[in-house]
Structure 1
Amino acid sequence: MFEISPVFYYVIIGYFIVILSIGFWSGRGNKTSEDHLVANRSIGALIGGAALAATQMSAGTFVGTMGVHYLTGASFMWFWPGLWLGWVVSAIWVAPKFQRFNGVTVPDYVEARYNSKAGKVIAAVLIIVAYTVYLIGQYVAGGVLMNTIFGIPMIWGAIITIGITMIYTLKGGMKATSYSDFVQAIIMAGCFFAAIPLLFSQAGGFGYVGTLLTDLDASITGWHFSVKDLIGFGLAFGLSMAIAPYELARMYTLKSQKTVRLAIGFSFVFQAIVAISVALGGMAMRSIFPVLGNGDAASSVMAINVLPPLVGALLMVAILASIMSTVSGIMIVSASGVSHDIFGVIKPNATDRQKMRVNRVAVIVLACIPLIFAIKPFDMVQFIVMLQASLVASFFFAIVVVGLNWKGATKAGAISAMLGGVATVLVYFLIGKPFGLNEVIPGVLVSLIILLVVSKFTKPVPEESLRPFFGDTKEDKKAA
């Protein structure tokens, strides 16, 4: 516990008021469940790019990644090129086709492309499970943040964070999430970018920090992680980012395919600023506080004990923004999996009002389940996030990237690939990661092989299922 300036309270309360106001303002135009889930398909490139960046830059970035840099130094930065390569894959081969498809949820793609309601339900269930793991990491980060600053128990910090997020998500849906994410992305990039010169001034300058850290441990300014480790980190984030359901769901909200590509470009700008700032911030904090008990606390200790009160308060808001933007996006995607994908299949004649009611109940229930697990201590936030990324990539990369670019992928191949990929990641993780490889590598490879092999020996999907993704089919050309 440190002495808290009243400025912290004023800035954080003001931030909560702004975000809640955006939620209530955005919710006025939502008349149907589709409006709620895809924001009337009205989001432009700049707001969309900020939303993509804000959702991606979760607690794993501002709490977890900074904590890893605090403990291990500079080399962890090399996971970013792998993540950005995933965005490039999405921009070229995935995102524009998703936008053109005009679905409502990501499992809608599975049903349409593979002509399978069973595949849709399986995809929805796997997304919900993987994102429950992801939410645990966000809740732990929110708890660490509130505990470090205000001294309240971690569980209450998590409850406060998700409570505010739940209110504006329930009211405003995806439109509220997109506009609040725009505000949050500006806060994240701007505050961290502004804080770094002040932090290094307090630490004694770049040269002094570099010399001190090298003397403390040469691996901090050198190579703490091996090349194999860094490739594994990059693949885990890159493969999952190329097909991340909470990012693909954003594609449905954008106006056009051109808007999609521009939005991804804008998101790179926000991410690059934050990537550099978080790495430098973590190492500067190690030079000032060499023996913090928990690396995840580095960002909040920096805000409260090193920076001027106003800058520190804004930085705390940036960290809260990163957590809340991701939690909001996950709440919408997971709840839509229940209301639109699972409930919609079980009760195909359900009214729009019934789906909205189920969606709101699902938001509350799915937001509360991870609290049960977040009460207990966990490994560092970033590695919880990494496990989730491996799970998502293992069941979704092959059926999305290959399925959107190869007509031969079949229903049986897709279902087998999803289940086989998840099983591989879980087994490989539980037996201790043989050969030291990240679990995402065998998970995606097995999923890809299963999709290709099973598809070669099973019934192809109907031509009409391919039309939304490949344009004219053989039957269309013959008819012409």
Structure 2
Amino acid sequence: MNWGVLIAVLIYEVVSIVGIGAFMAYKNKKSGGAESGSFAFAGGGLPASLVGITLALTLLGSAHNWGTCQNAASMGVIAAWFGIACVIMMVVITQITGPWIRRTGAKTIGDFLNKVFGKVPGTMISCVNAALSIAMVCLEVETIAITLSFLTGWSYMISAIVGGILAMLYVLLAGMKEIAWLNLLNAILMYAALIVVFICLCFKLPGGWDQVEATMTASADTSWMTSIFGNKALIIGFAIPSALGATMFHGMAQTGYQPVATAKNNHEVKKSLWFAGPINGLFCIIPALIGVAAFSILAYRNAGSMMMTPAMLLDLLPKPVIALLAAGFLGVDLSSFAVMALAPATLISHDMYTLYKPNATEKQKSTLSRVIIIIIGIVSIAICNFQPAVVDMVNWCFSFGIPVFIMGVIGLWWKRSTKASVITFIITWIVVCIWSTFGLQNALGWANFHVNYISLIVALIVGVISTAVLPGKKGLFAGKRA
């Protein structure tokens, strides 16, 4: 066990989390923050820099670090397209959907759907959004556990327990303000770590990066893995649906909107793109290269697609660099865990709890949110042994948000029909489940026809036809400036 590395990483994480969290909690208490929505929304007063960094790190986690390394072992450098796809997502959230939702005065995506379509669709989306966010929290715990196991040699479950406790502390003390300032610190650390790791591998890889390329291009089966464009099948089956799913899901989901809701105004939201886009979008490039490097060395392939990269790094990198990388990767996953857990907690406390107690105070909502975050953390630790391919699982979750995006746009700019929205949601979700569960892709010979394509096609057809046929009101923004 690398005790020195472990102690250094844990000291950094605990001191930064507890120190910043305690300071922000003190400031919240001093300013009466519990009554102003500070826990969930940072009081609605963050500048563009903190909004952008928080948005970037919220949606930069398991799929970007170890998930991209894992993907690169099977598809090569094109795995970095998951990050490129997220740049498109950041543009849509900060320039289009985020400002739209803020204009309605909504604090949650359920409240937004309430304003557009009514209580039934709003409550339905709050429930589904919360469930999908919890599923993605489990993926963050999975990669947090991998990082700690990589450092310590601990069992996967022990690593998950320790990591889960750290993850809950990341958000429990002071909520969004704590997350925002920790994200600023971790954004600097994670890029420094990646750059140092890449430079070290230039000297430590057997034969250097030239040997990696020579090994991969020596065989026709792997020669395409060194190209950022991979091959046609991966462009159609991975790159495009990743951009489609990420943009449409987070574009109208609580996970994408929660950081946007913390901004001072829409002007700050739009400026935040200059922070969110580059920080999130560039991150996948180096993990994709590292993943291909691990795959090129036969000795590490036996560790499996997820563990071959950690195994290589542990063998080749000096301990201080391992500590830096582990702290950076942990920071990435902890930040994603924080908002991924806070998002469903906010939906439950603000959208569902208020059905039972309409006059609930912000303090009561904050207390309930903390309890829910603890429950989500415990559940995530308990079930994180179920380890699907991270990026595949994330993309599957995204498919459930596509009909929400489609109907959200229709309801804002064309026509609002409660029945049409419910029908579109239910039919699309049923089709997604059937397509994903019963192997229809293989049966039809459509292996590259991603579930996100199916979700988009069904949502568009059912959404447009049902909205046109069924009665409804004029779109919320119809006839107004965009």
Per-residue deviation, 1:472: 8.5
> Is the alpha carbon distance of 1:97 and 1:226 closer, same or farther for their aligned partners in structure 2, counting shifts above 3 Å?
closer
> Is the alpha carbon distance of 1:470 and 1:345 closer, same or farther for their aligned partners in structure 2, counting shifts above 3 Å?
farther
2:87/2:278 contact within 8 Å kept: no
Per-residue deviation, 1:125: 0.5
Residue aligning to 2:194: 192
Q: TM-score, length-normalised on structure 2?
A: 0.89
State the distance in 1 between where 2:333 and 2:284 align: 16
What are the within-5 Å matches in structure 2 for residues 17-416 of structure 1? 17-28=15-26, 29=28, 30-32=33-35, 34-114=37-117, 116-203=118-205, 204-215=207-218, 217-222=222-227, 223=230, 225-230=233-238, 231-288=240-297, 289-376=299-386, 378-391=387-400, 393-404=401-412, 406-416=413-423
Residue aligning to 1:427: 434
Count of aligned positions: 464
Per-residue deviation, 1:298: 4.2
Q: Which runs of 5+ in 2 are unaligned?
A: none
Per-residue deviation, 1:381: 2.1
SS at match of 1:65: helix
2:415/2:474 contact within 8 Å kept: no
State the distance in 2 between where 1:298 and 1:187 align: 24
Return the letter of the residue paired with 2:432: V
Per-residue deviation, 1:332: 0.9
Return the letter of the residue paired with 1:438: H
Report Cα offsets for 1:116-136 as digits up to 9, x if no partner. Answer: 122221111101111222122
State the distance in 1 between where 2:70 and 2:438 align: 27
Residue aligning to 1:477: none
Report Cα offsets for 1:207-231 as digits up to 9, x if no partner. Answer: 2221122226324325365332133
2:85/2:281 contact within 8 Å kept: no
Per-residue deviation, 1:292: 4.2
State the distance in 1 between where 2:49 and 2:105 align: 20
1:33/1:355 contact within 8 Å kept: no
Report Cα offsets for 1:278-331 as digits up to 9, x if no partner. Answer: 122212233345424222224533543322222211110111111111110011
Residue aligning to 1:444: 456
1:111/1:119 contact within 8 Å kept: yes
1:33/1:356 contact within 8 Å kept: no
Report Cα offsets for 1:429-456 as digits up to 9, x if no partner. Answer: 0122422211111112222333222222
Report Cα offsets for 1:87-124 as digits up to 9, x if no partner. Answer: 3333342122223334322211111122x122221111
Deviates more, 1:366-375 or 1:174-183: 366-375
> Is the alpha carbon distance of 1:409 and 1:83 closer, same or farther for their aligned partners in structure 2, counting shifts above 3 Å?
farther
Deviates more, 1:157-166 or 1:122-131: 157-166
State the distance in 2 between where 1:66 and 1:438 align: 21
Q: Which runs of 5+ in 1 are unaligned?
A: 474-480
Residue aligning to 1:6: 4
Per-residue deviation, 1:410: 2.2
Q: State, as a whole percentage, how many aligned pairs show the same letter.
A: 20
> Is the alpha carbon distance of 1:18 and 1:82 closer, same or farther for their aligned partners in structure 2, counting shifts above 3 Å?
closer
1:243/1:401 contact within 8 Å kept: no
Per-residue deviation, 1:33: 6.3
SS at match of 2:426: helix
Report Cα offsets for 1:339-398 as digits up to 9, x if no partner. Answer: 11011123213344433332222222222223343234x23222222222222x234221
Return the letter of the residue paired with 2:217: T
1:456 partnered with 2:459: no
SS at match of 1:152: coil
Show structure 1 runs of 4+ deviating over 4 A.
Answer: 469-473
State the distance in 2 between where 1:462 and 1:220 align: 50
State the distance in 2 between where 1:46 and 1:302 align: 35
> Is the alpha carbon distance of 1:290 and 1:298 closer, same or farther for their aligned partners in structure 2, counting shifts above 3 Å?
closer
